Structure 1
Amino acid sequence: MKAWIMLMLALSLPVAAQAEEAKEAKEGEAPKVSYISLSPPFVGNYGLDGTARLKVYKADVALRVTGEEAVKAVKAHEPLIRNQLVALFGQQTSEAMNNVDTKEKLRQEALKQTQQVMSDETGKPMVDDLLFNNLIIQ
């Protein structure tokens, strides 16, 4: 009986060692970077300054996140993120939407507001970057 127990212990040690090595390998790997496209694209009016001309934008936005936890959190809070971005885009002036430098400032502000939403909801910013895949204005 004693030999049987010793045999079972000896056979289980390599399995335990392999499991530990696999765990260490996963811990040593860099977290997976993912891009989440906010779909459908944002479409709305901007620069409502009292002129008769209707100004429209269409923005395809993607969020860069790191790790599976961040992907799940962003998808769970996507409606709140979309709401914040729609409000931000609607506040823009014609000058802000037509200038390359101000478009970059808009992108940075959109990232900041997205991170603020995630911080308020989860305690962490979660979003590493915000990208305009396409930004069309008329």
Structure 2
Amino acid sequence: MLKSFLILFITLITVNQTKAADYAYFGFEPEIITNYVAVKKKMGYVRLTVELMIEDSSNFEAVEHHSPLLRDAIINIIGQQPEAKIKSINGRHEIQKLCEEQVKSLLTKETGQPLIKKLLFTQWLDN
């Protein structure tokens, strides 16, 4: 009985031990600086740092290879946003989600997989 219990216990531990997450982070260099149309047709700008959380570190080179395409998509999304969204916390979260969805979509078209788990804005300065 004790032997069966130990075997079951060891089996459960082995099954429950999953491979540790193998994440990597890709940061766009240099920082992204882009304009948006502010109220009264003035131009405002946003300076931000973007990090991509890559699900498997072996995909780092593929993400790096496609980084110009991804950077362009992020800049286009931000440039189309109204000033109110740029300057609000909730608006920034919406923009971050739009950028993440677009990056995943582009990577899926290019590589067959989204490759990233999350897109993060680690710094955001607007004027």
Q: What TM bracket, shorter-length normalisation?
A: 0.7 to 0.9
Structure 1: gaps of 5 or more residues: 1-27
Shift of 1:48: 5.5
Partner of 1:19: none
- Amino acid corresponding to residue 37 of structure 2 in structure 1: G
TM-score w.r.t. the length of structure 2 is 0.80
Match status 1:78 vs 2:67 = yes
**C-alpha distance in structure 2 between counterparts of 1:50 and 1:100, whole Å:** 22
Partner of 2:34: 44
Shift of 1:114: 0.3
Match status 1:68 vs 2:57 = yes
TM-score w.r.t. the length of structure 1 is 0.74
RMSD of the alignment, in Å?
1.5
SS at match of 2:85: helix
**C-alpha distance in structure 2 between counterparts of 1:62 and 1:47, whole Å:** 25
Partner of 2:122: 133
State the identity %: 22
**C-alpha distance in structure 1 between counterparts of 2:94 and 2:58, whole Å:** 28
- Amino acid corresponding to residue 109 of structure 2 in structure 1: D
In our comparison, the structure showing a higher alpha carbon Rg is: 1
